[in-house]
Structure 1
Amino acid sequence: MSSVIEVETKIAVPNIPEIAERLRSLGASYLGGSFQRDTYLNAPHCDYAETDEALRVRETNAGVEITYKGPKQQKSGAKARTEITVSVASAEDAIRLLTATGFNASAIVKKEREEYTYGGTTIALDHVEGLGTYVEIEVLTEKDVSAANTTIESVKKELNISGDHIPESYLELLLMKE
């Protein structure tokens, strides 16, 4: 299990192949591609949409994990929030356990993702079913959110990525679209 602060910026982009090429030309390390299926669950004691929290079961070709994301700590610039992740053997069993204890599955987000590391960040190039294409630039830290933001802005400039930061999660964006 890990517990850290995730600091990330998300930007809608039309040019995923150009960004991937720029990353390769700058010597970024390719971490691989995956298809991700995220099942979001809501708590029996509160509405996570109202408390700005999230609980998801993520399935990829690499395995399955449950992640809890706490409320956003920062509303402007890159968002920051506590993240706790545990690996599990089966998505089906994890969802069954959580629903048996009162949680209910509320939505599913599907995406194709390619990931790179560059300049102290993890960069995800995402095609999200029903939403479009995005880049996420992320830094995990134990406490220094300000330094993480500086790193993200520096990498964003090096990659020549423009556009406004989108503070909403893919789940929130999909729900807003409905």
Structure 2
Amino acid sequence: MEEGGIVIDVETQTFMFTPSSPINHQEAVTLAGGSVSGPYVVVSHEQPRATFVIEPSGSVLVHGIARGEVARLAIQELLLTLGMSEENLRMESGDMLIRFSIGRTVLLDLAAERFADIEMDDRLGALRITATLHNSQLLMFNNGQGVVLGQSSKKIAEMAVRHWADLLEEEGALA
């Protein structure tokens, strides 16, 4: 999304799928090429590129796919590989990793000084913004780029970025 110099893109999102009957770990290793990691089985999916983590309960956590419908198709393929039914497959959406750019340089020290909800993360060289109103956290670098963490809605993440870009502009922390 590009509007007013702000660009927002979803990099990835986690999805949890629960099939009507639990996935058998041994079959996931044998038929889908999974590998055992403690109480989990990890399966690498090539097209689209993703990682499936089969939990002890038989549910599957999907990493590396940004769109729910694509994740669903990939899981349906896994279930078919395992000879399982895709009927009554439930999906829950988790947090997204959202990349953004506000198109302006951020004066990090000034921003951290002016807002109680902003702290300088020296390890990353970025601002860590606690966006309580939008139930998320923003990491923003001096080049105006950053990521939104802890949010499962692209629209709310976009609102958080716009809100903080406006506040930084009002305080003169953007160049």
TM bucket, shorter chain: 0.3 to 0.5
**TM-score after normalising by structure 1:** 0.33
Larger RCO (CA under 8 A, 6+ residues apart):
1
